Amino acid sequence: MTSQPDPAQPDLSQPETAQPDPSDSETVSPPMRRPLSFVRRSNRLKPSYQRTWDAALGNELLDIPHGQRDTSVAEGFRIDWAAEFGRTAPIIVEIGSGSGEAVAHAAAENPDTDFLAIEVYKPGAAQLVSRIRREGLSNVRVAVANAPEVLDQLFAPGQLAEVWIFFPDPWHKRKHNKRRLVDEDFIARLARVLPPGGVWRLATDWSGYAEQMRALIGASPQFKNPHAGERAGADSPLTEVRLHDLDAISMGRQPAPLPLEEALDDDGGWAPRFPGRTQTDFETKALAVGRRIFDLTYIREP
């Protein structure tokens, strides 16, 4: 779910490899009720990562039995999280962890909190597991599975303290928007696993997805935006993107900027950067080509 772009490519909204691996069972499975929010890349691991994977499976790397697809969770499978971590502590889930820069940093900074990183791409998960073992982080587990199924099957209502989704695949072409992870159905799933006062943090470098997330989650009576009305008008990053068409420029396209009266984002609601979100390589590359970062924070309503 987290895109890791080739530095030579200006389009940071695209997955690292657009073509699926034909040997991957994910690409030939029967269709689901809604499109998956990801297209699997090659899952082949280089030998060093394969050794790490084998050593970590059943330990830092959760051994989750599959359903029909190799990222689905077998019906009836459950995890006792207190037994898994050896304690009862707040749990934060990061969806789309990539190689794990953000979640590993957060786990090291917050040893009294437990973290679950959900990532569908085995090479990224293997990198994260390697990092966890290298840094001796006992408070992180990694799940290679489809995030909605993990939320539905592995967590009880109100069990999570926070959920993080940083830089999900934007599926920026209109015909692909239906693949975006954050939709009405997913919002309901998040609402179930967060208690009143639970926190949902999001970040994206794609303005269209940022607007969609703000509109959909903002319309849900189950969440409130503690920064409603903030960073609006001339202070809004969305206004800046529209005025200069920064998305087009960052992708090497001819910009079509909007006039000021059309560009102004009167709604705002963008959160300040979450201090616990470390700047990853992906974000650094996005900023280097002129993209803007949109942070959103929502609190679960009683």
- Residue 262 counted as an annotated binding residue: no
Q: How far apart are the first and last CA of the chain?
A: 30
- Residue 173 counted as an annotated binding residue: yes
Residues 24, 169, 247, 295: which is the catalytic one? 169
- Residue 24 counted as an annotated binding residue: no
5-34 CB burial, b ≥16 within 10 A, e <16: beeeebebbbbbeeebeeebebeeeeeeee
Q: For residue 114, give both structure tokens.
A: 């437990």
- Residue 146 counted as an annotated binding residue: yes
- Residue 88 counted as an annotated binding residue: no
Q: Which of 232, 224, 220 is nearest to 185 (CA)?
A: 220
- Residue 283 counted as an annotated binding residue: yes
Q: Which of 161, 166, 196, 180 is nearest to 279 (CA)?
A: 166
Indicate the DSSP class of residue 251: T
Paired strand residues for 204: 294
- Residue 280 counted as an annotated binding residue: yes
Residue type, 249: I
Structural element, H or E, at residue 127: helix 122-135
- Residue 101 counted as an annotated binding residue: no
- Can you tell me the distance from the alpha carbon of 126 to that of 57, in angstroms, rounded to the nearest whole number? 10
Paired strand residues for 117: 94, 142
- Is 169 annotated in the active site? yes
- Can you tell me the distance from the alpha carbon of 127 to that of 109, in angstroms, rounded to the nearest whole number? 19
- Can you tell me the distance from the alpha carbon of 189 to that of 118, in angstroms, rounded to the nearest whole number? 15
Report the binding-site residues for substrate. Answer: 173, 205, 280-283
Annotated binding site: 94, 119, 146, 169, 173, 205, 280-283
Active-site amino acid positions: 169
Which residues participate in the annotated binding site for S-adenosyl-L-methionine? 94, 119, 146, 169
